[in-house]
Structure 1
Amino acid sequence: MSERNPIPLILTAVGSVLGTVMVLWYYGYVNFAKPQDALLLNEFTMLKTVPGEDYKVSLKPADQVVQCVDDVLVMFDLEQRGLTGVLVDSRKRAVRCISQETPKAP
């Protein structure tokens, strides 16, 4: 038996993976995140409401909105269109919400 040259097989495998990633990127199934697209969770704070205590918030609304989609809290950024994220806790579990109807597009 003669030995086969593995270099063409390796090049074919690498080319196939690169070609697949490029096709998926072209059709929008793969998105490469940029640092400016990130929203840092430390920019947000949860205010605990206690009955009888006052709390102050700004009258100007934030640049983000949230909707309940399939019982998961999804955040949309109004400044950077297309920036969407699911709110998760420290263990990467999605924050759930209770919705009675399907959310309408803003």
Structure 2
Amino acid sequence: MSEERNAIPLILTGIGSIIGTIAVLWFYGYLHFAKPEDALLLADFTMLKTTPGEELKLSLEPAGQVAHCIDGVLVLFDTKQKGLTGILVDERKHAVRCAGQETPQEIK
């Protein structure tokens, strides 16, 4: 009366379903496998502390990046390599926020 079922086809079907789902999600762009090139360091930046009464000397030549405030985050665009953009972050990967611009709120 009790028949033993072969579990191997069920296991293979489950594994195949998972692999198929991952492949379809990746193909349609819903899944992205990050590569080390995706998070390359664009440039090193240093914050110069300004104190009242001290003179601050800067180079007249501008940097190779232009910053814009987008959705309350400082986004850098590289002027030397077209298409290269990045978000300015600190050493803990916290995004640098823009002062004076509010994050857009949902309009009802």
TM bucket normalised to smaller: 0.5 to 0.7
Structure 1 stretches lacking a partner, 5+ long: none
| Counterpart mapping for 1:29-40 below 5 A | 29-40=30-41
State the 1:101 CA deviation: 8.8
**Partner residue, 1:61:** 63
TM-score (norm 2): 0.57
- Structure 1 length normalisation: TM-score? 0.57
RMSD: 3.4
Asked if the contact 2:67–2:76 (Cα under 8 Å) also holds between the matched residues in 1, the reply is yes
Structure 2 SS opposite 1:15: helix
Q: Which residue of 2 aligns with 1:50?
A: 51
Alignment of 1:1-106 (within 5 A): 1-40=2-41, 43-51=44-52, 52-57=54-59, 59-62=61-64, 64-78=65-79, 79=81, 81=83, 83-98=84-99, 99=101
Identity %: 57
Q: Return the index of the structure with the highest Cα Rg.
A: 2
Q: Give the aligned length.
A: 100
Assess, with a 3 A threshold, how the Cα gap between structure 1 residues 33 and 75 changes in structure 2: closer, same or farther: farther
